[in-house]
Amino acid sequence: DSMQLHHSAMLVGMAKNSSLYNPVRRPEMVLERRNVVLNQMEKYGFIDKATRDSVKRLPLDLNYTKVDYKTGPAPYLREYLRLALTAEKPDLKKYASWQKQNYIEDLNEWENNPLYGWCNKNIKPNGENYDLYTDGLKIYTTIDSRMQKYAVEAVEQHLRYDLQPMFDGSMNNLKNPPFSNNMSNEEVEDLLNRSIRQSERYRVLHQQGLNFQEIKENFNQPVEMTVFTWRGEIDTIMSPLDSIKWYKRFFRSSFMAMEPETGKVKAYVGGPNYKYFMYDMVKTGKRQVGSTIKPFLYTLAMQNGFTPCTKVPYVSQQFQQPDGTIYEPRDAEVDEELDGQMVTLKWGLANSKNRISAWVLKQFSPEAVVEMMKRLGVYSPIDPVNSMFLGTSDVTLYEMVGAFNAYANLGVFVKPYFVTRIEDRYGNVVASFLPERHEAIDEQTAYLMLNLLQAVINEGTGIRLRGPRVYAQFKMPIAGKTGTTQNHSDGWFIGVTPALSAGVWTGADLRSIHFRTISSGQGANMALPIWGYFYKKVLADQSLGITEEMTFKSPLNFNIDLDCDDSETGKTKKETDEFF
């Protein structure tokens, strides 16, 4: 009823051959065709001559936007949902031998996640499976458009103006930029060859019958191309091989934020730019987690009678390895004044001291830590070894944020979820979703962990959030943990507040591309600022109702003294670098 006459006439004119009479490709032809229809309408008495003449003067009035799945809000999440909704039941025969773990994880999703494979698990009234592309389904997500916008802006702010210029400025000291000087020419060549084989250009040339040497020669020939820069796309002439190096130098970040009680994911950024960096580093990509694994070890301690104020010896720890060798973890720097003294567990975690983590691990076992992580929703394979607290296992950001969220939710794990309901084309609700939830740890343990993790922010490796930087100056309670991996290849920060739990990962595509110094490459510098930029925007938006006056929930009848005697260790309160 709302369609105007000139629009209706245009559509009728297109009906004879919609491909030929395409108003975007051939507007003049379509305009002429529309006017023919108007003439016919006047001829047969549907409109009068005056109406015909006035309408013929109108332009086509196209309001055309090309549909591009690479643009629009939350493209990484949209693509994840597309793949999840249309997934088929995993068939081991379709997985390569090295993809066994992928098969296990996909099968677990199929069996336990109602959203995964929904279109193929559910039947329409006519007996057919749902078709995501043709059935007019409406998918209602948990994403808050305001927070999503702020998350995207925060990622760009830090990568574009802070981190990438910092790394680019350091490349003058690299013999094979952007690769680390620790790599030999042969290792760089091997990495580039692998990247060539993974490219679409290689696939096309290989299908044309070219051998690898011929393909490499092709990759060295300059061609016209459009490339990504933080200032926008630019047209240039570059060899495909140089374009591989160009894109490898860019740092990527992923970000996810969720509500503690509901489990609703409010913001989801899988990378810096979906068009050029399509791999999702929230739900799909896994990286070493560094020291963000340490809170799970401390959770075991809090659950078994320790408190943040428990004092333990700050001395070197040794482990007897299965092969008979001795493993002795070390810290980036030893606080000489405290060496051999008794220090609190709060100080040990706040400053990410490996000596203290090693002592705690000795009281339990690597297997116990793995079991604790599973209870908190971390199901990625974790090697139960004595060095596990260094965080060398690969885990998704999605898992890490979900796990830390349990601390803010008084020990209840709520699996982060993305979709609330699905409606058919007629508005009928055909599916509703609620998150999985269970008690992972008791309320007291969760609250003790909040106290430990707040010390990370107030006096440890996350103290930048209390300082004068533009992304900081927060007064609200924040519990969090930074993480840095070997060679500074990955930077992490997971931070929880009473209103939101959010996490950030930052790193390059290849672990061999990284900052040379820990001060630049640690999680407090690579990841934490994005969290800060995001939360500053959230607090500034009064419509979200999130304020700095909010406080964490506490258990009933909690009577453990958290006012530790830190007279000795308190004087070390400063911005510190962490080692793993």
pLDDT digits (tens, 9 = 90+) for 352-410: 999 999 999 999 999 999 999 999 999 999 999 999 999 999 999 999 999 999 999 99
Q: Is the peptide bond before 435 cis (omega within 30 degrees of 0)?
A: no
Alpha helices by DSSP H, 159-256: 164-170, 185-197, 200-207, 212-219, 240-248
Question: Hey, is 521 helix, strand or coil?
Answer: helix
Residue 333: predicted pLDDT: 79
Position 302 scores a pLDDT of 98
> Is residue 576 over pLDDT 80?
no
Phi, psi of 429, rounded to the nearest 5 degrees: -75, 115
What percentage of the chain has pLDDT greater than the value 90? Answer: 86
- Residue appearing with tokens 């973890």: 329
Q: Distance (Å, rounded) from C-alpha 92 to C-alpha 449?
A: 40
The average pLDDT across 225-241 equals 97
Q: What is the 3-state secondary structure (H, E, C) of 298-364?
A: HHHHHHCCCCCCCEEECCCCCEECCCCCEECCCCCCCCHHHCCCEEEHHHHHHCCCHHHHHHHHHHC
Q: For the segment 305-350, what is each residue's pLDDT rounded down to a tens digit?
A: 999 999 999 999 999 998 999 999 988 778 888 999 999 999 999 9
Domains and CATH numbers, the chain: 5-56 (no CATH), 251-572 (3.40.710.10)
pLDDT of residue 71: 77
The pLDDT mean for the chain works out to 94
Given a cut of 80, is residue 569 above it in pLDDT?
Answer: no
Residues 117-142 have pLDDT tens digits of: 999 999 999 999 999 999 999 999 99
CA distance 108 to 380: 12
DSSP 176: B
Contact residues for 550 (Cβ-Cβ < 8 A; gap 6+): 476, 477, 497, 498, 499
Which residue in 254, 252, 273, 250 sits closest to 168, CA to CA? 250
pLDDT recorded at residue 577? 59
Residue with structure tokens 């209103």? 499
Residue 282 confidence (pLDDT) above 80: yes
3-state class (DSSP) for residue 268: strand
Say what the pLDDT of residue 18 is.
85
Could you tell me the pLDDT band of residue 92, with boundaries at 50, 70 and 90?
very high
Phi, psi of 417 (to 5 degrees): -135, 160
Phi and psi, residue 266, nearest 5°: -100, -20
CA 303/CA 448 separation, integer angstroms? 9
Contact at 8 Å (CB) between 338 and 569?
yes
Instruction: Determine the length of the chain.
Output: 580
Q: What is the pLDDT of residue 25?
A: 85
Residue 334: per-residue pLDDT:
81
- Assign 32 a pLDDT band (cuts: 50, 70, 90): very high
Which of 33-37, 240-244, 298-302 has the weakest average pLDDT?
A: 33-37
The full DSSP string for 415-464 is: --B-EEEEE-TTS-EEEE----EEE-S-HHHHHHHHHHHHHHHHHSTTGG
Q: Which of 350-359, 527-536, 561-570 has the lowest mean pLDDT?
A: 561-570
Kindly tell me the sign of the dihedral angle through the C-alpha atoms of 315, 321, 324, 326. Answer: negative
Counting DSSP H helices and E strands in the chain, the numbers are 21, 18
Query: How confident is the model at residue 580, as a pLDDT?
Result: 56
For position 336, what pLDDT does the model report? 85
Confidence grade of residue 565 (pLDDT, cut at 50, 70, 90) = confident
Cα separation, 460 vs 482, whole angstroms? 10
DSSP-assigned letter for residue 487: G
Provide the pLDDT for residue 3: 78
The answer to whether residue 66 scores a pLDDT higher than 70 is no
Q: Cβ–Cβ contacts within 10 Å for residue 164, how many? A: 17
Outline where DSSP puts E strands in 93-244: 138-141, 223-227, 234-238
Residue pair 275/70 in contact by the 8 Å Cβ criterion: yes
| pTM of the full structure | 0.89
Interval 531-546 mean pLDDT: 99
pLDDT over 60 (residue 574): no
Say what the pLDDT of residue 106 is.
Answer: 96
pLDDT at position 568 over 80: no
CA angle 287, 289, 292 (to 5 degrees): 155
> Cα–Cα distances in Å, from 529 out to 151, 449, 493, 507, 523?
12, 23, 9, 14, 9
Mean pLDDT calculated for residue range 409-436? 98
Q: What is the DSSP letter of 162?
A: I
**Pair 539, 548: CB distance under 8 Å:** yes
Which of 16-20, 26-30, 243-247, 458-462 shows the lowest mean pLDDT across its residues? 16-20
Residues 554-578 have a mean pLDDT of 74
